[in-house]
Amino acid sequence: MERRGVPTVMICTDEFHQLGRNEAESLGMPALPIALVPHPLGGQKPEHIQAEADKALEQVVRMLTTPATRLMQQVLSTL
């Protein structure tokens, strides 16, 4: 979707952040924003997962509404 011009955010657990970053880079999208949720999600109660999803939604909305040039600078500064 990102390559088609649709702003996109990857969501992954913090444990796999670097893997997500590596995958985005290997796909030619090193500045793809990644929203992080705490690891692990497996085995957690539905209420806990819902709370984490709500927090992730805040990150996703911020990433999708931040101007692309500023977001790219922010993402690349963390590499």
Indicate if the pLDDT at residue 79 is higher than 90.
Answer: no
Q: Which long-range contacts (CB under 8 A, 24 or more apart) does 56-60 make?
A: 56/11, 59/9, 59/35, 60/9, 60/11, 60/35
Cis omega (within 30 of 0) for bond into 38: no
6 in helix, strand or coil? coil
pTM value?
A: 0.83
At 50, the amino acid letter reads Q
pLDDT tens digits, residue range 21-65?
999 999 999 889 999 999 999 999 999 999 999 999 999 999 999
